[in-house]
């Protein structure tokens, strides 16, 4: 049945042929696929598996942990700790990096991951995912926290799995972005979406609109213009989608274009950003850039942000290039004070959007 089909291990071995540690990187990514298969099996069982619901504990970010957050975290650790390929691992669900048990050989890579992205969606049977990022560890000895704090540009591989109607993995090792679909009967990921490309233009955007009044003016401007559609400055109608699982929103963007935003907001002044740099924004940014898209904080390329802490958060805007460039421009114009009032009647003084937002 495998004839003519490319399995993920064959694909990775071929893409990473060459120096020794490239073969190790391929082997590490294959270990990650083993964890993904275990998580796919748990998520697919749903209520029948007894895995749903919360644990009554909180992670380092103060978020309630779902049973599956912790089970998925353990699945990744178990699949990747034994092979002599990683020097350490860090995850959304662990305050400090995971130190490998003494019996296991140390490898050349650091694995940073979000074991279950969108886990608030798990109890309602909506797609969730796993996001991972691989960095190099060139020092001898167990890594300290600071060894993990490398900008995303230094990632040697990144990817995500999406547990949807089908389970897929999307991976980059810096040579394009490629998608694989899990064939459950043979238990292997098969290359189904080689060389994914995000169209440069789009009329679809994703954002949690309930935060609108807390966004910064450049994001309010962008969204207001999209919503004004044909009658506004943009001169065309836009469509919105919001799944609240970043992997699922990003996957749609890889399949048909669009942009995803989780910008700064002033809802909780102690938490101006939602998404974490090292295991959400960075790996997704690399995947998106490798597919021809762009990923920005609005003021900087995400991949160039140097992390100051393992669980640091950042504003995220990514997807179709021309729209992300427009958002960057709106931020620049706002910061420079040359953000002209809109021509749209929505922005006249006595309108809904007048006054406070334009101050
Ligand atoms: P996680 O489940 O790993 O904490 O991440 C969820 C993230 C992301 O997937 C999604 O886009 C965003 O949180 C949704 O957050 P809100 O529902 O709070 O807007
Ligand atoms: Mn997440
Ligand atoms: Mn998570």
Query: Does pLDDT of 350 surpass 70?
Result: no
Cβ within 8 Å of residue 325, ≥6 positions away: 294
Q: pLDDT class for 357, splitting at 50, 70, 90?
A: very low
The DSSP code for 178 is E
Look at the alpha carbons of 92, 84, 79, 174 in this order and tell me if their dihedral is positive or negative: positive
- The reported pTM is 0.93
Q: 13-22: per-residue pLDDT in tens?
A: 999 998 778 9
Look at the alpha carbons of 204, 206, 210, 211 in this order and tell me if their dihedral is positive or negative: negative
Rounded Cα–Cα distance for residues 113 and 83 (Å)? 18
* CB of 73 shorter than 6 A to ligand 1: no
* CB of 143 shorter than 6 A to ligand 1: no
Q: Residue 128 C-alpha to ligand 3 middle, in angstroms? A: 9
Share of the chain above pLDDT 70, in %: 94
Look at the alpha carbons of 146, 296, 273, 55 in this order and tell me if their dihedral is positive or negative: negative
Q: pLDDT class for 346, splitting at 50, 70, 90?
A: low
Mean pLDDT, the chain, integer: 93
Rounded Cα–Cα distance for residues 321 and 343 (Å)? 25
pLDDT of amino acid 244: 96
* Centroid of chain to Cα 171: 12
CATH architecture of 8-193: 2-Layer Sandwich (3.30)
Query: Does pLDDT of 356 surpass 50?
Result: no
- CA end-to-end span of the chain, whole Å? 64
DSSP-assigned beta bridge partners for residue 239: 204
pLDDT of amino acid 358: 36
Query: Does pLDDT of 353 surpass 60?
Result: no
Q: pLDDT class for 2, splitting at 50, 70, 90?
A: low
The values of phi and psi at residue 179, to 5°, are -115, 140
pLDDT of amino acid 38: 98
Q: 127-152: per-residue pLDDT in tens?
A: 999 999 999 998 888 999 999 999 99
Matching fold, domains 8-193 and 204-357: no
pLDDT of amino acid 60: 78
Tell which atom from ligand 1 comes closest to the C-alpha of 248. Answer: 9
204-357, which class in CATH? alpha beta
Q: Residue 120 C-alpha to ligand 1 middle, in angstroms? A: 7
* CB of 117 shorter than 6 A to ligand 1: yes
The domains of the chain are located at 8-193, 204-357
For residue 276, give the 3-state DSSP assignment.
Answer: strand
Tell which atom from ligand 1 comes closest to the C-alpha of 121. Answer: 2
Q: Where are the beta strands (DSSP E) in the chain?
A: 54-58, 64-66, 86-91, 109-117, 128-136, 157-163, 167-172, 178-183, 188-193, 204-206, 239-240, 259-262, 275-276, 294-296, 313-314, 316-319
Q: 165-203: per-residue pLDDT in tens?
A: 999 999 999 999 999 999 999 999 999 999 999 999 999
Query: Does pLDDT of 297 surpass 80?
Result: yes
Q: Residue 270 C-alpha to ligand 3 middle, in angstroms? A: 20
């Amino acid at each position: 049945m495998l004839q003519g089909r490319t399995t993920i291990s064959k694909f990775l071995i071929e893409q990473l042929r060459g120096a020794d540690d490239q073969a190790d990187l391929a082997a590490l990514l294959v270990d990650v696929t083993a964890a993904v298969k275990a998580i796919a099996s748990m998520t697919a069982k749903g209520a029948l598996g007894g895995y749903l619901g919360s644990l009554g504990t909180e992670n380092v970010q103060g978020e309630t942990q779902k049973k599956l957050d912790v089970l998925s975290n353990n699945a990744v650790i178990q699949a990747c700790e034994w092979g002599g390929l990683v020097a350490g691992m860090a995850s959304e669900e662990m305050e400090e990096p995971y130190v490998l048990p003494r019996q296991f050989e140390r490898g050349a890579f650091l694995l940073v991951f979000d074991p279950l992205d969108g886990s608030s969606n798990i109890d309602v049977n909506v797609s969730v995912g796993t996001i991972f990022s691989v960095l190099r560890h060139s020092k001898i000895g167990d890594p300290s926290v600071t060894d993990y704090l490398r900008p995303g540009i230094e990632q040697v591989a990144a990817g995500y799995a999406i547990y949807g109607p089908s389970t897929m993995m999307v991976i980059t090792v810096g040579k394009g972005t490629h998608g694989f679909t899990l064939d459950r009967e043979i238990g292997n990921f098969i290359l189904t979406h080689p060389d994914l490309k995000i169209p440069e233009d789009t009329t679809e955007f994703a954002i949690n609109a309930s935060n609108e009044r807390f966004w910064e003016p450049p994001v309010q401007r962008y969204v207001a213009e999209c919503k004004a559609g044909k009658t506004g400055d943009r001169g065309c109608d836009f469509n919105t989608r919001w799944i609240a699982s970043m992997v699922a929103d990003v996957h749609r963007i890889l399949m048909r274009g669009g942009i995803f935003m989780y910008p700064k907001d002033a809802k909780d002044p102690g938490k101006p950003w939602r998404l974490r740099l090292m295991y959400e924004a960075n790996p997704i940014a690399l995947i998106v850039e490798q597919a021809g898209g762009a990923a920005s904080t609005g003021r900087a390329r995400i991949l160039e942000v140097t992390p100051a802490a393992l669980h640091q958060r950042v504003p995220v805007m990514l997807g179709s290039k021309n729209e992300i460039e427009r958002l960057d421009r709106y931020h620049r114009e706002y910061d420079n004070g040359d953000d002209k009032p809109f021509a749209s009647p929505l922005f006249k003084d006595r309108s809904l959007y007048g006054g406070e937002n334009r101050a």
